[in-house]
Structure 1
């Protein structure tokens, strides 16, 4: 079976949108599954819907990477967007042609090619997703390195070369999953300007002529298809082999923080994508929406659902009690206190149900349970406290979620091992709670406490919550009642009591 390239694609009879030749307008640091299923997908749509006529040059952020494979396929790859949308199963295929090539800057020729792109008149945008560890300042980097080891170091080299070539400033779109990603990246570049003694003209160029934007990315990307049988079936169906085939969920939103004038510069609004890719002066409300609704839903129902006998997220969406509990928590307790358009938040919450019901992804509850102490504090506690402050009463489901958290960490504790705290659920199987060591040691020390003693110890542990939660009126009493209910009647019955 021939491997995908333009000639092979033409022979395969593919009749979707393809753009073979166009100016290279984007330099993208990162060539992994996420960026190819997300950023390069949006640029591909911009080519089709807005006649943007642009290509993305990818750069390997680390030495081992996909450059050779991407170049052998002339930048082409197959993308499947799979999931559930408005309750309907979706399995859409698209061949992405927005990528021209991939460079390996750890080879001398690849570094030279990266600098040639940097000095190009066509270049308009730089994109990055170099993992959470990517935006770090490493003082060991030098201007003359080929290349600098850190991503901000490489970016400073690229921008300095562009500045020396007398080319206009670029738009920088940082996609790393850290707070203030654009501002942190700019801060690192300024540190290299100081360390390397670069001139004030360049400092002005970086801080005034270039536009550094933070962004919030939201799409689950499982990546490759791992079942060899399905891979073989798709190759027969496509008429080509594609080792770069990528898989993402249908849902996707890219919120870019910056001056809204950028909506006229970037191609997404013209392509009719403004509900999914847009620029806003402040993305913090959208981040809050994602953390409180999507991530908060996970942490809010998963721990009790696991104790009730469920193992994957999708199955929870098919149970009337768990689904009803999650929806009541989101629609009655979380959405009403968010500082965004309520209809938009309700649509986002409805999309969460679709995303959790993805028929193609077996998302295990135990994988979501990792570090649930810090997760409940970051994702659920702000909604809980704001609801209490606004309404003067406890939110029923969020209050229950706290009891379910304690139950998960204390359910028939067996032992504390190097891997975590071993507990047992009603099904009879053991499970291992993973969290910071001091958290696990705390629960192990309190494993023989009665319910009121345990609840009081947890709620007064300010290292966990940053405050004494017993000071929230009625919260301790309600948690004792809820935890007793979970232990005596099971988590599913406890969730049902909230409805």
Structure 2
């Protein structure tokens, strides 16, 4: 029987914890942890990672001392690499451990991948204090600053309460790594709102002791299957309960002041800039936007993966239509990035499920599709690319294609009317009142939605 992956025989010694990550999953392990592994000072920057709601990753990695195998799936074959960046892995319920890390002066960086839905934002971008879970966390922290919180913004508030109580003034930086425009600003808004609701003086303390960074992240990383586990054992001679398959391409663009330091990520290939926005928009619109288009439209045609969908001439035509619009509204060049996307999408060794991408469309369509459509309509144009993506999402909500899995499912499913026309009116009204008031937009979305199921 093959030995199990552990630091006794593989990887490097665990680095001292100086970073805390919330929401550990495959993407972080293929991206931020991988970049940290390749930083020249990686031995000084260990990560303590906490899971989301499910403890599976912690249960798999704790017996492996946080080690896992990254499988880079190239057309010519697989490359296997042991990643040692995760010094500790915890379930999200291990609250005492989380508070202890935040109270430690050595902890200098907090990162997160909690998805767009995890920000708990109201439509105006502020913390959704009307949400039952948010409200419960606020009241719990008012009663007990060490209370276990169910929402990420309030979990961070509890951590900062612990850090202030410990008298730590060495500074700390929060770097969210989710696919949101200006994710640092978005995250800081909801966390500061939470702090203000719990204890206004904490918000003042944070203004002096916490900085917020922003980044754009990019690497296609599917879920792990038994195929990857078997491949690791066959190629490497050990068992790994949670290897991570990923593509060769990776990009990370970071902006911000890390007041207590950070790993030397730029020496591992990270781009450090003053303004992430142009790179965020390029990635959100070109990659994520086309992913959403395929997740809703191509699943109606019966496709399951990105690779299968992009090799269909009709779907590829839809994607190219969208890219024409997205590229025309970007402030940075996109032709080279667009060409690389085709190669990445076509990679037959990356089984990226469209149903997985389809989740949480209520958080994705407004930032991936709507901004470019607004710009086009304002210029007097009515391109099919973004309109088809919205039409496909509408059909998705009506039960066609991938099943609906959305943090705001109750809200968006309530938009489904008795017929297609009423649903189009409702969805467009929810997305953008000006779009809903444009008769040409409404007419064309109805036509494209009909075409998708005809």
SS in 2 for 1:326: helix
1:26, distance to aligned residue in structure 2 (A): 1.1
Q: Structure 2 vs 1, CA of residues 211 and 236 (structure 1 numbering), >3 Å: closer, same or farther?
A: same
Query: C-alpha separation between the residues in 2 aligned to 1:407 and 1:160?
Result: 44
Q: Structure 2 vs 1, CA of residues 442 and 284 (structure 1 numbering), >3 Å: closer, same or farther?
A: farther
Query: C-alpha separation between the residues in 2 aligned to 1:312 and 1:39?
Result: 25
Q: Structure 2 vs 1, CA of residues 188 and 359 (structure 1 numbering), >3 Å: closer, same or farther?
A: same
Alignment RMSD, CA only?
Answer: 4.4
Alignment correspondent of 1:56: 47
Alignment partner of 1:285 out of 260, 278, 286: 278
Q: Could you report, residue by residue, the CA deviation over 1:296-328 in whole angstroms, capped at 9, with x for unpaired residues?
A: 324556666566675543133334554355335
Alignment correspondent of 1:139: 138
Q: Could you report, residue by residue, the CA deviation over 1:89-138 in whole angstroms, capped at 9, with x for unpaired residues?
A: 5633210011212245745xx72x54554344532212223444544542
Structure showing greater Rg: 1
* Higher relative contact order (Cα pairs below 8 Å, separated by 6+ residues): 2
Q: Could you report, residue by residue, the CA deviation over 1:174-209 in whole angstroms, capped at 9, with x for unpaired residues?
A: 2345565444544455456555558x5x65442123
Alignment correspondent of 1:296: 289
Q: Structure 2 vs 1, CA of residues 406 and 77 (structure 1 numbering), >3 Å: closer, same or farther?
A: closer
Q: Structure 2 vs 1, CA of residues 246 and 114 (structure 1 numbering), >3 Å: closer, same or farther?
A: same
Q: Does 2:76 match 1:77?
A: no
Alignment partner of 2:346 out of 351, 357, 363: 357
Paired residues of 1:404 and 1:483 also in contact (CA < 8 A): no
Alignment correspondent of 1:467: 434
Q: Structure 2 vs 1, CA of residues 472 and 309 (structure 1 numbering), >3 Å: closer, same or farther?
A: same
Alignment correspondent of 2:4: 3
Paired residues of 1:256 and 1:279 also in contact (CA < 8 A): yes
Query: C-alpha separation between the residues in 2 aligned to 1:95 and 1:123?
Result: 24
Paired residues of 2:14 and 2:84 also in contact (CA < 8 A): no
Alignment correspondent of 2:159: 158
SS in 1 for 2:8: helix
Paired residues of 1:312 and 1:365 also in contact (CA < 8 A): yes
Paired residues of 2:104 and 2:168 also in contact (CA < 8 A): no
1:211, distance to aligned residue in structure 2 (A): 0.8
Query: C-alpha separation between the residues in 2 aligned to 1:315 and 1:186?
Result: 39
Q: Structure 2 vs 1, CA of residues 226 and 471 (structure 1 numbering), >3 Å: closer, same or farther?
A: same
Q: Does 2:327 match 1:335?
A: yes
Alignment correspondent of 2:30: 37
Which consecutive unaligned segments of at least 5 residues does structure 2 have?
121-133
1:35, distance to aligned residue in structure 2 (A): 2.4
Aligned length: 429
- Could you state the TM-score of these two structures normalised by the residue count of structure 1? 0.69
Q: Structure 2 vs 1, CA of residues 21 and 463 (structure 1 numbering), >3 Å: closer, same or farther?
A: closer
Alignment partner of 2:80 out of 93, 106, 131: 93
Query: C-alpha separation between the residues in 2 aligned to 1:462 and 1:5?
Result: 53
1:335, distance to aligned residue in structure 2 (A): 0.8
Alignment partner of 1:443 out of 392, 407, 419: 419
SS in 1 for 2:9: helix
1:43, distance to aligned residue in structure 2 (A): 0.9
Query: C-alpha separation between the residues in 2 aligned to 1:133 and 1:236?
Result: 38
Matches within 5 A, 1:477-492: none
SS in 2 for 1:172: strand
SS in 2 for 1:28: strand
Query: C-alpha separation between the residues in 2 aligned to 1:365 and 1:189?
Result: 32
Paired residues of 1:78 and 1:242 also in contact (CA < 8 A): yes
Query: C-alpha separation between the residues in 1 aligned to 2:294 and 2:49?
Result: 39
Which consecutive unaligned segments of at least 5 residues does structure 1 have?
10-17, 411-418, 424-430, 447-453, 492-499
1:5, distance to aligned residue in structure 2 (A): 0.9
Alignment correspondent of 1:494: none
- Could you state the TM-score of these two structures normalised by the residue count of structure 2? 0.74
Q: Structure 2 vs 1, CA of residues 58 and 368 (structure 1 numbering), >3 Å: closer, same or farther?
A: closer
Alignment correspondent of 1:414: none
Q: Structure 2 vs 1, CA of residues 366 and 236 (structure 1 numbering), >3 Å: closer, same or farther?
A: closer
1:7, distance to aligned residue in structure 2 (A): 2.5
